[in-house]
């Protein structure tokens, strides 16, 4: 096959995967907006969307009877949670892509490398030190970002000390995340008791307590992280073939690595600050994207953002359905992602270590 045909084929594959996952995402968003304690379901939401979509163009200007209540519940109550879950998933997906590329390790991801638990520990500790912080979202996000960065540097240094292989990276990540997970538990207890605010739930990751005001920091961080990753995408492609290769193409691998670590910490940190520790999304999503369109980061990054939103929103829907059907309220989404992600991790581990 000629190169041009091969190339056009991969562009087509990318567009097809992107459009397909966007359609899927739309359906899952509607599904997510259809689930709640009040009785409005999938079709009500679709009808509401249809009506409001038309009114944007000036057709049927006033809502029929009953729609105002649906609109209130869908837009004010269910929508923030849906949107935040979607944005968090997109961010974690991209963070996973960045971390896997710069460590050249397809088993790496923010949670497994200890970014999430250090981030939550630092958030909790800073709330204990400066109680006023609890209500200032921007500070919480900033602190969470710095915490995630700390986690990444600790894991990287520990892994380098131990010889710096694919396996030592994962083991160092386990060491760092275990240590900080223990610390995070103690601190979370203290914060919850002292300030009488739901904080323990963040250890398991949950969108139950998401507020409308959480949307803004999520959007801003995702925009920054996404744009940066797209700009870095060619350099990430080069770095997959080694630091020396990237250097001889004119890139500075140390800069690339630092920048990527920075942005993955931002994307992880903002999610930790708002929804807590959510593992394995950053691991699974890049693999799905690469399976669909290959390894080129120029297309893996945008696709991972969409698939990340899709995966995490789906996990949250499962968590909510489980909650409503069992009557146990607030089953954490982190439990669902771990249940799905950990076996996938085990599969990758076996596949990689056996070299097949």
Q: How far is the CB of 352 from other proteins (least distance, A)?
A: 6
Cβ 164 to other proteins shortest distance, Å: 14
Q: Which residue, 100 or 181, has its beta carbon nearer to other proteins?
A: 100
Residue 259 to residues 12, 28, 119, 169, 217: CA-CA distances in angstroms?
Answer: 31, 33, 18, 19, 20
Burial class for 211, CB neighbours closer than 10 Å (0-12, 13-18, 19+): exposed
In 3D space, the residue among 122, 54, 88 whose CA is nearest the CA of residue 282 turns out to be 88
Question: Angle between the 253-275 and 79-103 helix axes, to the nearest 10 degrees?
Answer: 150
Beta carbon nearer to other proteins, 16 or 245: 245
| CB of 253 or CB of 309, closer to other proteins | 253
* Residues found near other proteins in the complex (CB under 8 A): 1-4, 6-7, 10, 100, 104-107, 230-231, 233-234, 237-238, 240-242, 244-245, 247-252, 290-291, 294-296, 298, 348, 352, 355
Which pair of structure tokens corresponds to residue 262? 């920075």
Neighbours of 116 (CB within 10 A): 35
Question: Could you give the CA distance from residue 301 to residue 97 in angstroms, rounded to a whole number?
Answer: 7
For the record, the structure tokens of 242 come out as 């080694």
Nearer to other proteins, 124 or 302 (CB): 302
Q: Residue holding tokens 């920054």?
A: 224
Nearer to other proteins, 199 or 280 (CB): 280
Minimum Å gap between C-beta 261 and other proteins is 18
Residue 285 beta carbon to other proteins: minimum distance, rounded to whole angstroms? 14
Cβ within 8 Å of residue 263, ≥6 positions away: 94, 95, 98, 224, 225, 228, 229, 232
- Evaluate whether 93 touches 307 at the Cβ level (below 8 Å): yes
Beta strand spans in the chain (E): none
Q: Which residue is listed with tokens 């929508």?
A: 79
Question: What is the nearest approach in angstroms of other proteins to the Cβ of residue 175?
Answer: 22
Q: Is-contact 92 311, C-beta < 8 A?
A: no
Contact between residue 314 and residue 68 where contact means Cβ atoms under 8 Å apart: no
Q: What angle do CA 228, 234, 235 make, to 5 degrees?
A: 80
**Which one, of 106, 153, 157, lies nearest residue 264 by Cα?**
153
CB 228 → other proteins: shortest distance, Å? 12
Backbone angles phi, psi at 181, to 5 degrees: -65, -40
């Amino acid at each position: 096959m000629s190169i041009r045909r091969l190339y056009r084929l991969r562009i087509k594959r990318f567009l097809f995967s992107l459009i397909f996952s966007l359609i899927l995402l739309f359906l899952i968003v509607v599904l997510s907006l259809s689930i709640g304690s009040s009785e409005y379901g999938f079709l009500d939401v679709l009808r509401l969307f249809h009506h409001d979509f038309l009114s944007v163009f000036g057709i049927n200007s006033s809502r029929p009877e009953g729609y105002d209540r649906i609109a209130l519940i869908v837009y004010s109550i269910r929508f923030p949670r849906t949107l935040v879950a979607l944005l968090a998933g997109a961010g974690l997906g991209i963070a996973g892509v960045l971390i896997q590329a710069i460590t050249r390790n397809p088993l790496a991801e923010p949670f497994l490398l200890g970014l999430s638990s250090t981030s939550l520990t630092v958030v909790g500790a800073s709330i204990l030190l400066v109680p006023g912080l609890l209500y200032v979202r921007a500070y919480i996000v900033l602190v969470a970002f710095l915490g995630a960065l700390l986690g990444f540097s600790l894991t990287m240094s520990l892994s380098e000390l131990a010889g710096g292989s694919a396996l030592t990276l994962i083991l160092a990540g386990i060491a760092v995340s275990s240590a900080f997970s223990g610390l995070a538990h103690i601190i979370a207890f203290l914060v919850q008791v002292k300030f009488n605010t739901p904080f323990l739930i963040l250890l398991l990751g949950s969108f139950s307590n998401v507020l409308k005001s959480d949307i803004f920091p999520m959007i801003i961080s995702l925009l920054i992280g996404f744009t940066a990753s797209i700009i870095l995408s060619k350099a990430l492609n080069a770095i997959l073939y080694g630091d020396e290769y990237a250097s001889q193409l004119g890139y500075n691998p140390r800069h690339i690595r630092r920048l990527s670590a920075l942005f993955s910490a931002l994307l992880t940190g903002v999610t930790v600050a708002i929804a807590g520790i959510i593992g394995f999304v950053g691991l699974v999503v890049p693999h799905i994207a690469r399976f669909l369109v290959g390894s080129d980061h120029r297309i893996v990054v945008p696709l991972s953002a969409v698939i990340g939103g899709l995966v995490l929103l789906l996990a949250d829907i499962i968590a909510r359905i489980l909650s409503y059907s069992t009557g146990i309220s607030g089953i954490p989404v982190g439990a669902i992602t771990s249940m799905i992600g950990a076996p996938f991790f085990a599969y990758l581990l076996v596949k990689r270590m056996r070299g097949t």
